[in-house]
Amino acid sequence: MGLIAGVDSSTQSTKVVLHDEDDFAVVGRGAAAHPPTFPPVSEQDPEKWWTALGQALSAALADAEAAPTDVRAISVAAQCHGLVALDGSGAVVRPAKLWNDTTSAPQMSRLLERMPAVEWARRTGSVPTAAFTVSKLAWLREREPESFARTVTVLLPHDWLTFRLTGKTVTDRSEASGTGYFDATRNSYDHELLRLVDPDMDWEPMLPTVLGPSIAAGTVSNAAAGALGLRRDTVVGPGAGDQHAGALGLGARPGDVVYVLGTSGVVFTSSATATHDPSGTVDGVADAAGGYLPLVSTLNAAKVTDTFAHLLGVDHDEFARLALAAEPAGTPILAAFLDGERKPDLPAATGTLTGLTTATTREQVARAAVDGVLFGLLRGATALSEAGADTTGRVIVTGGASRSPAYRQLLADGTGAMVHVSTSVEAVADGAALQAAACLGGDDVRAVRDARAAPLVPDAAPRSSGAVAELFPRYLAAAAWRGGDRP
């Protein structure tokens, strides 16, 4: 039995899904945890990702009752933006700074003073924040000059895992477009932006080669074959960012609006044309299928409702029941900036719960937590439309928190549209597997996506829009307080 492996290396864990090469049925799954992080400092040792990949692959193979040599192709999707710095021997210089590490906010502010936001948007499609790799490079140069001086290769998390699999320093358009120094419309790095970090550095040899969405990175190296038991001729795909692979796994088409409820919250749509939002709200990044994936990403999603469930002393099922049972009238409003915020760019913000009275119920507090996450994303969806993206397609929800009926129903209420869910259990890993299958067969990844992505099914229909019409404007007013402090 030939197998296709898709890898999802997120902030929290690595997941591996194995598909049958012929009918693409899921035959095995495995997972392994990563060390927890606690923003504003969010760092991980990349070796932990490699160890987790091996553990998750072994678990998936055991689940499939298969051998490593059955794997014909593999591809890695991973958390975006992080910085993995390598020295001349290919060793990691220091722990990777992750996307949700906001300690580089001062450096990013200074870069934006030197190059106006409108120019960043024009050149790269996005106005970078502390999440972007360019800010972390500036932080490394300023705060750890010795580590910066040792750095000869700059990779992102999925690039590094692909490097460990193949020995090659490559990336793809989706990940490169989230660095803050790549123009996806020209498919080229912008060295003038990197010279803002260090004008004397020879950046060209430090950057990975950018591959097309259906171009294999190569085959498994001798070292990786020995470590994982894979065959040397196992094809390795170029990889992708997690949201970008998720779009493949969901089978999202242009115009579909996808809400991702994971560690972070993301709303995106697939587009054939690029967006350039000078306000910085919309990141005009590339997708993993040759087009674009304009998106808005927030720092606070599932962890918000995890926190409030803990405060209320209930499990997730009871929390969802409480939120759905709440009386909308008089419900408090949560500006859910618990770990700072990314969009809007407020790295030092905290959460604000407003509108509490002696009549406030536990049910209303639970609903406020869910609404606080969703309203931030609904504001993002409005920004997508204002940036020129088509948002007239299906509404799709995915991510760990999408398993909550409260999130699905309140999203339907908020959008006024039927909410669809995928029959895929792990859309990001499935998207990586679709890419690997395309590389193995020499096919266009879009054709493989259209033929093999798991189907979408309607799940939650919108109820009366009256509650949202009253609550959402109150949210916008509360969010303008920036988590407790007026702008």
Rounded Cα–Cα distance for residues 98 and 160 (Å): 13
Write phi, then psi, for 454 (nearest 5 degrees): -60, 145
- Amino acid identity, position 361: T
Smallest Cα–Cα separation from 168: which of 246, 245, 239?
239
Tokens 């927030």: give the residue.
Answer: 298
Rounded Cα–Cα distance for residues 92 and 10 (Å): 19
Rounded Cα–Cα distance for residues 179 and 156 (Å): 9
CA atoms within 13 A on the CB side of 41: 1
Smallest Cα–Cα separation from 261: which of 369, 102, 417?
369
* 229 three-state secondary structure: coil
Write phi, then psi, for 379 (nearest 5 degrees): -60, -35
Write phi, then psi, for 188 (nearest 5 degrees): -150, 150
485 is catalytic: no
- Contacts with 63 (C-beta within 8 Å, 6 or more apart), sequence order: 18, 27, 28, 29, 30
Which phi-psi region, left, alpha or beta, contains residue 290 (left: φ > 0; alpha: ψ -120 to 50)? left
Q: Which of 242, 256, 287, 413 is catalytic?
A: 242
Task: Give the sign of the dihedral formed by CA 141, CA 142, CA 143, CA 144.
Answer: positive
Cis peptide before 40 (omega within 30 of 0): yes
Smallest Cα–Cα separation from 218: which of 234, 207, 205, 206?
234
- Amino acid identity, position 433: A
Rounded Cα–Cα distance for residues 238 and 110 (Å): 33
Smallest Cα–Cα separation from 325: which of 375, 372, 364, 373?
364
Q: What is the DSSP-derived secondary structure letter of residue 211?
A: E
Number of Cβ atoms within 10 Å of the Cβ of 471: 22
- Contacts with 54 (C-beta within 8 Å, 6 or more apart), sequence order: 227, 228
- Residue 432's Cα: distance from chain center in Å? 13
Smallest Cα–Cα separation from 230: which of 72, 75, 76?
72
Smallest Cα–Cα separation from 177: which of 240, 116, 220?
240
Catalytic positions? 242
